[in-house]
Amino acid sequence: MAVEREGWPRAGLGKMLGPRVHDARVAALCLQHGVTELWSLDRDHGRIPELKVQNPLAR
């Protein structure tokens, strides 16, 4: 099932499938609320260029 929501195409999230849908929703909410940096151990968020992903456990 493809997910398409208002505001998502600007982040390249217009056609996410399967388990990536949750990551796409998190990224879209961050961008919609002006969040530009996300702290996460999940590397999948790195596919969204507008959202900088920081691993809080990495040095």
Q: How many residues does the chain have?
A: 59
Q: What's the CA gap between 50 and 47, in Å, rounded?
A: 9
User: pLDDT above 70 covers what percent of the chain?
Assistant: 69
User: Does residue 16 contact residue 24 with C-beta atoms inside 8 Å?
Assistant: yes
**Dmax over Cα atoms in the chain, in whole Å?**
38
Query: Is this structure's pTM higher than 0.75?
Result: no
- How deeply is 57 buried, as exposed, middle or buried, from its count of CB atoms within 10 A (0-12, 13-18, 19+)? exposed
Q: Pick the residue with more confidence: 4 or 59? A: 59
- Please give the average per-residue pLDDT across 29-48, as a whole number: 86
Q: What's the CA gap between 18 and 30, in Å, rounded?
A: 20
pLDDT of residue 1: 39
Q: Which of 12-16, 32-36, 38-42, 53-57 has the lowest mean pLDDT?
A: 12-16
